[in-house]
Structure formats: structure tokens, C-alpha cells
Amino acid sequence: MPGHALILSLISLLASGLTALKLFRMGLSRRYQVFFWYLIFRVLNMAWSLFLPLNSNIYFYSWVFSEPVVLMFYIWVVWELCGLVLERHRGLSSLGRWAMYFGTCISVILSILSLIPKIRNAPPQVSRIIGYYYAMDRGVTFCLALFLLLMMFLLSRYPVPLSRNVILHVSLYTVFFLSNTLSVILGGVFGLHLYTQIDTGLLVVSAACSLCWLFFLNRKGEEIRMTIPHFGPEHEERLLLQLDSLNSTLLKVARK
């Protein structure tokens, strides 16, 4: 592993470990339970892979077995974020989660279908496995990034008060998923020619997001409530009533 990549990986590893410890000490590990366990898994997975040569069979098979777990954690984290953003509107939260599951499945299927002609022409079995994994990665991260962007758009139109931590959490994961999707797309377009530059860019974004979680996700951020005001108070009240009415309708439908 090149020196700069090793330094960025160590920054992400250290920041992730310290963030998990910070969440546990502040009592926020229960509120962000999925994110907390993802950080634990990420630290263990990164620490293990740093000691393995990139061209070794052990590294390849550890990546093959860990990558699906990573993607599942991504889905679970966004599932948790949806519940945090819409914790006062359980009906909308349930609808949003089902829409996320459906969209993720469709996105993964389309990504795999788009790569099947290229994968078939790849002679080694290893290349085919990597191709399918990159297709799943691109499909999952793109769908989750799109889902978070749509959720943030919803928040910009409805004056729903959220903690600063939740807004930070959603924003960072949106950036993280978009950068991951972009790196996979660029890797597919340019191949190995720009692999080092693309991988370095992704490591920079990952390290920056890890540091932001470490320094800005705190107990005070739970107490600070923020909204994105676009209308006057009378319009905001009307919009909130509409949102509550839609949430009540969805809850009634779910009970039937």
C-alpha cells in the first residue's frame, strides 16, 4: 500500500475507533446503534486488511466476505437515519424505509445487468467476481445517496425540527455515498489507468467524513434543534399539519 494511502487509512481507522468510543462514553451509542456497530466493524475490518498484502489471496477472500457485510451496514445505517429524521412521523418513516429497500434492489439489479456484457468478456473468474461486487457497490451506494438527497429535499420543504447531529449525520453520509458511487463509475470508465488517483480521492473523502464525525458528533448536538425556514410561521404551521395528516393516514393504512 502506498504511503499516502496508508496514512489516510490510518486516519480513518483512528477516527472511526475514537468516534465509537466517544459515542459509547456520551451514551449516544444507543441512539445511533447501527452506526456505532458499523464503526466497530469498520475498525476491525480495516485493522485486519492493513496487515495483508494487496495481491495476496487472503486479502482478496477477506474482501469478498466483508464487502457484503459493509453494504448491509450501509443499508442499515440509512434505515436508522430515516427513523431518526422521521422519528415523530412513524408512518412516513415506514413508507420511506420500504421505498429505500425497493429502490436499492432495483438499482443493484440494473447495475449488474449493465455490467453483464463486460463481465462475460472478462476471462478470469476473479475479474467476474470483482465486476459483480462493484456493480452491487455502485447500485447500493447510488440508491442510498439518492434516497438521502430526496429526504434532505423533503426536510428543506417542511419545517421539521431536527438535532444538529442528525443533520450532520445525513449530510456526511450523502457526501460519502456520492463519492463512493462516483469512484466506482470512474473506475469502470477509466479502468486501472486512474485507479490510484480514484482510490486516493475516495480515501480523502472517507478520512474527512470520519474526522467530522469525530469532532462534531457530540452530546450538545443532540440538544440543538435546527430547521431550514423557507416560509412564514403561518405557512410552516400549515405544512406541518399537512405532514401530520399524511403520517396519520399512512398509520391507519398500515393497521388495516
CATH number of the domain residue 203 falls in: 1.20.1070
pTM (2 d.p.): 0.80
Range picked from 121-125, 144-148, 211-215 for highest mean pLDDT: 211-215
Q: What proportion of the chain, given as a percentage, has pLDDT over 70?
A: 65
By CB atoms closer than 10 A (0-12, 13-18, 19+), residue 153 is: exposed
Q: What's the CA gap between 134 and 155, in Å, rounded?
A: 31
Lowest mean pLDDT among 3-7, 13-17, 132-136: 132-136
Q: What's the CA gap between 174 and 91, in Å, rounded?
A: 23
Q: What is the mean pLDDT of the chain?
A: 76
Which pLDDT tens digit goes with each residue over 49-84? 877 777 778 888 888 888 889 988 998 888 888 788
Split at pLDDT 50, 70, 90, the class of 29 is very high
Total count of domains within the chain = 1
Domain span at residue 89 reads 3-255
- The answer to whether 214 and 43 have CB atoms below 8 angstroms apart is no
